[in-house]
A and B are shown apart, each in its own frame.
Chain A
Amino acid sequence: MRARALVLGILSSTAVLAVGWQLGTQGETQPAPDAVAASTAGTSTPGTPTVTPDATSTPAPSASASAAATAAPAATPTPTVAGGVSGTFTGTSVQTRFGPVQVQITVADGTITDVTALQLTDKDQRSVSISNRAAPVLRQEVLTAQSANVQGVSGATYTSDGYLSSLQSALDQAGL
């Protein structure tokens, strides 16, 4: 479910994910729809999604510092008895705010089980994960504006202007 949500999230900026969606709906053994190449035109050269039979042993994608994608060697998908395609699929590189990015999906029985974004601009040309996630945190200490050694405060805008102004005003007057 999370993978599906993530796919949705990246979809608009990374056309390579067309691979994933195509996979979700198509037949057993066609993991490399031509639509991928077409939809990434302009930011990358068409590439063939890499298919690794073993989902856990993914080859490092060929890195490229430019926006142009490096076509990865094609492999054969592994159809399973259950009827869906399985494997790891790496899309072509597209230009994003991180620089060139490739998206990799893991598919089991025709269902996406994981989506990973790979960044290709690491200085050693290695692929690195770029995921940025919000995770639970706990409060470690009680901080007050008076004691925390801050010069400004950020709070809910519009609704709390009066209070924020007075808090900021106190800081201003203290010349902190």
Chain B
Amino acid sequence: MTVGVHVFDTMGTTVSLRFADEVAAASVLDGIEAVFREFDHRFSLYRADSELSRVARGDLSLTRAGAAVRSAYADALDWARSTGGAFTPHRPDGVVDLSGIVKAQAMDAAARVLENAGEAHWMLGVGGDILTRGTFHGQPWAAGVVDPDDRGALICTIGFTGTRRALATSGTAERGEHIWRTGGLAQPHYRQVSVWAGDIVTADVLATALLAGGPGRCQEMLDRFDIDVVAIDDDGSITATPGLQRARGLMPA
């Protein structure tokens, strides 16, 4: 069984692009690398010369930033509204940080490059976020959700069927907290949240929002958005929505 894999580093992480058959033409791969490079140059706060870094330093006013930056910021504000503030593009120090949304938007843009090139069967993995189209030789593309306590093990595996094409995971494993939580320390927390959705921006943003909002905000998100969730609590117990309760590796309690 053939599989074409194209791997490259960008945005501080690694992109793994798989094709069910042959790897796409070099021009298509170049186009995809260019998409990620462009997002990185514009939005990375790790690059002093990025447009967003200039905004963060106050060298450039947000209203004078390019259309792409303003559009991404507007999208992030929309998500802040629709998640009741659980997702936010503002760091506690006031700096606009769009890293919670731009990786997924870059993946979306890469998906358009692939679709325009007529590529129908692929899986795009970027730093733990996964977006798929079509099948892997007739079988659903499959991804595993990593166990935060045993990084070589998987909590479950998920087959990408129907309209659920994207999976994103947020967590606090290893290097401690990177999400600014809402609700204070006394609230119950999730250690890791995976969101399975129709598109990668929804999956990524809501994984972040659920990790920040915790179990207390979960039902609200499930009522508002068409998603499935598998989450691990502070004490290691796992909860899942009906669409994932019987994912391979899990069974209803």
Contact = CB atoms under 8 A, between A and B. Distances in A.
Report whether over half of chain B's contact residues are helix, strand or loop; otherwise say mixed. Answer: strand
Contacts of B156: 143
A172 interface: yes
Interface in B226-253: 226, 228-231, 237-242, 244-245, 248-253
A56 interface: no
Contacts of A146: 152
Contacts of B204: 157
A135 B117 CA distance: 41
B40 interface: no
B130 interface: yes
Contacts of B103: 157
Contacts of B178: 158-159
A147 to B, nearest CB: 9
Interface string B56-94: 000000000000000000000000000010000000000
A154 B129 contact: yes
B153 A97 contact: no
Contacts of B237: 136
A167 B14 CA distance: 11
A81 interface: no
Interface stretch (A7-15, A24-32, A82-90): A7-15
B16 A161 contact: no
B5 interface: yes
A156 B192 contact: yes
A41 B41 CA distance: 45
B16 A172 contact: yes
Interface residues of B, number: 75
A175 B6 CA distance: 11
Interface stretch (B24-32, B108-116, B181-189, B215-223): B215-223
A173 to B, nearest CB: 8
Given A97-B226, A132-B222, A150-B157, A139 B174 contact: no
B154 A172 contact: no
Nearest to A160: B174
Give chain A's interface residue range (CB within 8 Å of chain B): 35 or more
A155 B151 CA distance: 9
Interface string A149-176: 1111111111111011101110110011
A132 B156 CA distance: 20
A104 to B, nearest CB: 14
Nearest to A10: B223
Contact of B251 (A140, A144, A148): A140
Contact of B219 (A6, A139, A154, A176): A6
B240 A153 contact: no
A49 B109 CA distance: 45
A169 B7 contact: yes
A141 B249 contact: yes
A154 B148 contact: no
